[in-house]
Structure 1
Amino acid sequence: MSKARGYAVYSSKSGFELFTFDRRELRDNDVRIEILYCGVCHSDLHTARDHWDGLIYPDGTLYPNVPGHEIIGKVAEVGSSVSRFKLGDLVGVGCMVDSCQHCKACGSGLEQYCENVTTWTYNSPDRVTGDITRGGYSDSIVVREEFVLNIRHETKDLAAVAPLLCAGVTMWSPLKHWGVGPGSKVGIVGIGGLGHMGIKLAYALGARVVAFTTSESKREAALSLGVDEVVNSRDAGQMAAHAGTLDLIINTVAVPHDLDAYTSLLGLNGTMALVGNPEDPHPSPSVATLLGGRRSIAGSLIGGIAETQRMLNFCATHGILADIETIRMQDIETAFERMLKSDVKYRFVIDMASLKEAA
């Protein structure tokens, strides 16, 4: 085993504390990674505060909990059968560290839908030992080779690559699944950590992009990201102007709201993909609105390993990065508070070098 240092919460009400723990001995197909940067996702906050008891996690959050699933690092050690990575390689780890590898979903490259339970990067039982996984708010992690990703961006950009491992692929997967490209008209609801990545990716894929926000103050920021139009979703006239015109809407909002306001904007065979997971259900949508244009409401959960690698390669080729604010590990509580207020453009990323300063 190797010793790791990180930040953990010990209950839903407690703050983060320095935490020393064991990472497992390397299995033949394992890679040990020295973590350089880790993005801060809303899922980290929801898990730390046990908001998803029974929704995502059957047994709630298991403490002490070390969050973090937007991980960039370099290979520090490899198992005897590892062939794809060598010491010093720049790599990434996203939301998953294992799956059964033999069910229909895994065979289709959709490990996030594993029929025998995906092993998440944190708060999941290890498939072999049953020990609870601990994430990237730490200085190292051990991951099965198949779930380690190649990073091709320049070294100077690594911090801004970290959010691609969750926010990036969460938006990429529905864009690709529903065939977005030149000639498509795509709506992105919410201009935050997820939404800003959706705008960048949809634009780079050649789509016409419409951003929806409840905040007029975000208009200029959205336009600077590459959107063609910004719609204030509280303005009925602006919304009506897009009725029946959108091929795909990706809705990132993770609080309950009226879905009908958006499904009515879909054209024939249009789909709204929900990627935000609210604590309480959305109001029931109107069936008539769906029937009227053979419209659909669907869900999409992150992305598989192969499509995550394709997304990373695409972003490296097109120079796509997240807009970030780098923080110290010691400032994670402040980052959580600001994240709840949407006071970040658009993603916090922890510089793990700061962990060496922790008492």
Structure 2
Amino acid sequence: MIPAARPAAPGAGDLPIGTGYAPCHHGEILQGVFLDGDGRRCAGLVTLPMAGPGSHAEFVRRPGTASEALTVVPAGRTKAARAAALAVAESAERAGERPCGGELRLTGDVPVGLGMGSSTSDVIATVRAVANSYGLRLPADTVARLAVRAELACDPLMLDGRPVLFAQREGRVLEVLGPALPPLVVVGCTLGGGAPVDTLSLPVHTPADVDADQVRAFERLRTLLRRAVATGDVQLLGEVATASASLGQRVLGHPEFEALTGIARRVGAAGVQIAHSGAVAGVLFDPAAPGLRHRVRSCLRALDAHGIPATRTFATLTTTKEILNGPAHRGVDRPAGPDTPRRPARLPAL
């Protein structure tokens, strides 16, 4: 059921308000150039879902005003502003109304510049809020199309959470890999001291620039990831993620990469994953592996020893979190206190 737009806050009269939300992710498991169903090359990625941080949007629609009379709070969210204008045009046409202006307010706690999809989260929350103000819920493919127009490329945060190979520059699914990823425990961290990555400064390569051998390598990883999802094989998923992260170092060149993969091997992790457009990374564990809590603690100590800041330890499924923490041990996913220097802290908020 589509939630009805509600009256605006006090002082705004009877103007309709729409709200929207979108989650973030924890970087990529796989990213590269792949072939679509017609054999055409496409940039594509598979993201690692993460519950918790997200973007909330509230849109106050002002009927009768010019459609370009849009304001955004906080100022400077240019991608969200573009998304609002596009969503107004789309929603007004579907609702049979004239486009109008309004005010968009964004709040959230997705860290910026770490490769966690902060801009896409803002954009999707915005599109959903605008549509909601018209009493609409736009289909996921429409949200994806508007998101790509607003920011040139987007993450698949508008979808239902199933693992997909997503063409981020085209806003379409290349392949649904299965119903769900195998359960994972992820020890999150940041590379490069956690400094945001300016994605606009990274080299831009089109799919045509990638040689045939690289495309074949990405397709092999795609096949292995499909198998890992189908069989619930965490170890194989970790191998795919590590291989993808290694290929990504040709662009990102994180100096801590060898230390991170070395830590993963020593503590018996399945592998590592790294955001291909940011600094966030994760050491991946099989929750069914014996001695999981000891492995996680050893990983946190090793990260600390190498000067790699830990962020948060999380599970991709609630049941996995219970396996990790146990009924008598909570707090692996809590902020670090001053007396627990190796307990992972939450990622910084906006």
| Superposition TM-score, scaled by structure 1 size | 0.30
| Superposition TM-score, scaled by structure 2 size | 0.31
Higher gyration radius (CA) = 2
Q: Which structure has greater helix proportion?
A: 2
